[in-house]
Chain A
Amino acid sequence: MKTIISIVRKDFISEFRSRDMFISMFTFSLIIIFVFNLVLDLTSNIKNIVSPAVLWITFLFSGSIGLSRSYSLEKESEAIKGLLLAPVDRSLIYMGKFFSNLIFLLIIEIITIPIFIILFNYDFSIKIIEIMLVIFLGTIGFSTVGTLFSAISLNTRLREVLLPILYFPIIIPVLLNAVRITTSLLSGESLSSNSSSLQVLIAFDIIFFSAGLLLYEYVIEES
């Protein structure tokens, strides 16, 4: 537990000193929402179908920037070597990176939501707790696979370019179900009417978190 906390703390200290990743991710999500808002002519009847998808695609895109950045910081100045030299289990390093990515993505998403509400003229307040739960579960899914794949992609020749290619097809179950639940919540339905989508989302989180714990040691070791 102490190992995980110290990895998370290390990531946040280095982030607070520079803040460049934070600002660029935030600006990026702002631009995406702005572009969608400008390009789509949102009349009220299609708005309810389109906007949850826009929200989740924004999360996905800005998240993939953040994920590749968090690992490339480790690669710069060989910081990853220090992490690997630490006498701890590789799965603990995975958990540490997983939690710091998770918290990071959540912070960005929470800042993005007000902008989304303003530009798309949305009322979240009726279902705020349920929507937060879906965002939380979806972001766990992003972080489980993302933590693993950012390590793979940055160790290849294509580096950051490879991450979306690996990451987007795998993440499709999360995206499909999260968008479906968000859409139905915003149209006034309850969370229990989406229980099967919710189950798939939770199953994804559990399966890929376990897979990450088991497989992380094979992707970070220098060969």
Chain B
Amino acid sequence: MIILLVLTVISIIASLYASFIYAPTELIMGDIQRIFYFHMGTVWVATVAFTIVFIASIMFLKSGKRKWDILALSSAEIGVLFITLTIITGSIWAKPIWGTWWTWDPQLTTTFILWILYIVYLILRSVAGDNVKQARFAAVFSIIAFIDLPLVYISARLKRGISPVVFGPGGGGIESKMLITMLITFLACTLLFIILLKQRILYEKIKDNLRLLKSRTI
């Protein structure tokens, strides 16, 4: 745990240095492009987090074990945090570049629905009553939500988009110093995610233990 913490702190400092000083200034967009490293880092973590929620939910429905439910809940909460950061950094970037905070481009539409869906997931957990029922309903909802997202993206894609495609066909490619910066930021965000996830799982387990002790004394 200590080693992980040290590594995380080092990589965060490194990624701050890399994205503000080491990476060259982008020719057209200027300094505002530097926010992109964090934007990509947070969206990466959110993707990982929601994939974990999906897999953990399936595992929970199959096995009924509490540890899968704890993993899904913890991962979903952190995912919502990171996707919120993605939306905020994206808006800060979009205002000077596109001239607007928000637009209904396919990637933004999908991100927005993703954000809403996992907020709904957390709402569902808070109103679903006892633990077993809550876990089962939440698992069903998160599976449905996860398989809905590609369809949302395809549906929105049928209109034309303006979000930059960095990789893949039609992408502009990327300069090597920028790529290194991005990889360091990805590493920093991933390590931060692992630490937060571990803490959140620990917290949930302590809560379970406390509940057990309380029920024993009464």
**A residues near B, CB below 8 A?**
145, 148-149, 152, 155-158, 162, 165-166, 169-170, 172-173, 176-177, 180, 196-197, 200, 203-204, 207-208, 211, 215, 218-219, 223
B137 within 8 A of partner (CB): yes
Chain B residues near A196 (CB-CB < 8 A): 158
Chain B residues near A207 (CB-CB < 8 A): 147, 151
Shortest CB distance A128–B (Å): 25
Contact A156 B116 (CB under 8 A): no
Chain A residues near B132 (CB-CB < 8 A): 223
Are A173 and B120 CB-contacts (below 8 A) given A211-B143, A219-B137? no
Chain B residue nearest in CB terms to A171: B148
**B residues near A, CB below 8 A?**
61, 113, 116-117, 120, 123-124, 127-130, 132-133, 136-137, 139-141, 143-145, 147-148, 151-152, 154-156, 158
Partner among A156, A172, A197, A215 whose Cβ is within 8 Å of the Cβ of B140: A215
Contact B155 A170 (CB under 8 A): no
Interface secondary structure of A, over-half rule: helix
Shortest CB distance B115–A (Å): 10
User: In the complex the two chains form, what is the Cα distance from A170 to B121 in whole Å?
Assistant: 12
Chain B residue nearest in CB terms to A144: B144
Chain B residues near A166 (CB-CB < 8 A): 120, 124, 141
Which of B123, B141, B143, B148 has most A Cβ within 10 Å? B148
User: In the complex the two chains form, what is the Cα distance from A144 to B143 in whole Å?
Assistant: 14
Contact A152 B151 (CB under 8 A): no
Contact A170 B128 (CB under 8 A): no
Partner among B113, B128, B136 whose Cβ is within 8 Å of the Cβ of A172: B113
